[in-house]
Amino acid sequence: MSDTVLTHDEKVTDSTVVLGFWIYLMTDFILFAGLFATFLVLRTNTVQGPTLNANLSFALVETILLLTSSFLAGMALLAARANSVRSLMTWLVLAGALGAAFIGMEISEFTRLVASGNGPTRSGFLSSYFTLVGTHGLHVTIGLLWLIALIISIAMRGLTRANMRKLVLWSLFWHFLDIVWIFIFTIVYLMGAV
């Protein structure tokens, strides 16, 4: 990445893009706040059906995968700032692999629940659970698709200013998903186990 001096228009454009992305993250925060509120209201609405009976060790492995992936995303950003494209790509691929493993575990959990007759239509509790956790999983999947596009863009064009901006925005998004998952782990899984 070259150390060229940005013009005023380029600085304004970059600032506008970053501000717009922060506004998007805040709207996502509001979306998840509503989903958490719905889950908390409906968590006892089991209609004499099953509760989650959370497997805490399974959820803990998911948590470790996602948090480690976020750490690797941070390492990728440091590598980019050091202009080490090879290290950057390695960190991004590893972060993506852990994110994909997380999604694989989430899909297997959903599949197991549905196969045992505990799908989202069984009760208000399960409906809110599938909606909250599934929305987070959808966001992680979108983050993985974004990451693949970013890796391809960096491989084709190098670490341009535009790619650096995309990397920073993706990293913000990825860390935001970690924060949401910490709340899911605490509210859904830990509170569900007591």
For 8-193, which CATH class? Answer: mainly alpha
- Using one digit for the tens of pLDDT, what is the confidence trace for 28-48? 999 999 999 999 999 888 777
* Amino acid in position 53: N
Please say if the pLDDT value at position 9 is more than 50. Answer: no
* Amino acid in position 123: S
Are the beta carbons of 144 and 99 closer than 8 angstroms? yes
* pTM reported for the whole predicted model: 0.88
Are the beta carbons of 146 and 138 closer than 8 angstroms? no
Are the beta carbons of 76 and 95 closer than 8 angstroms? yes
Parse the chain into domains and list their residue ranges: 8-193
Q: In the prediction, which pLDDT does 157 show?
A: 94
Q: In the prediction, which pLDDT does 55 show?
A: 74
Please compute the mean of the pLDDT values over residues 2-11 and round it to a whole number.
Answer: 50
Q: In the prediction, which pLDDT does 172 show?
A: 94
Cα separation, 31 vs 128, in Å, equals 13
Q: In the prediction, which pLDDT does 8 show?
A: 45
Q: In the prediction, which pLDDT does 48 show?
A: 73
- Using one digit for the tens of pLDDT, what is the confidence trace for 37-92? 999 999 888 777 667 666 788 999 999 999 999 999 999 999 999 999 999 999 99
Please compute the mean of the pLDDT values over residues 122-144 and round it to a whole number.
Answer: 95
DSSP state of 49: S
